[in-house]
Amino acid sequence: MSIYCTYLTTYFGSKLPMFYIGSTSVEKVKSGYHGSVMSKDYKSIYESELKQNPQLFKTKILRTFYI
């Protein structure tokens, strides 16, 4: 049985939207996952910010569930 979650990622910089809510495995979030961006407008900015300023991203698990 796998444990999954909904999570909230907060971005404390000025180049991207401040909040992102998503779902994935708890293990992935605990390994440093902050979400993925599919938007053409934000994808390269997100990848750059995550690489150069990872301290600007904080992810909190909101709820867990089992599958």
pLDDT digits (tens, 9 = 90+) for 25-53: 999 999 999 999 999 999 999 999 999 99
pLDDT of residue 8: 98
pLDDT of residue 22: 96
**DSSP for 1-67, written as a single string:** --EEEEEEEEE-SSSS-SEEEEEEEHHHHHTT-------TTTHHHHHHHHHH-GGGEEEEEEEEEE-
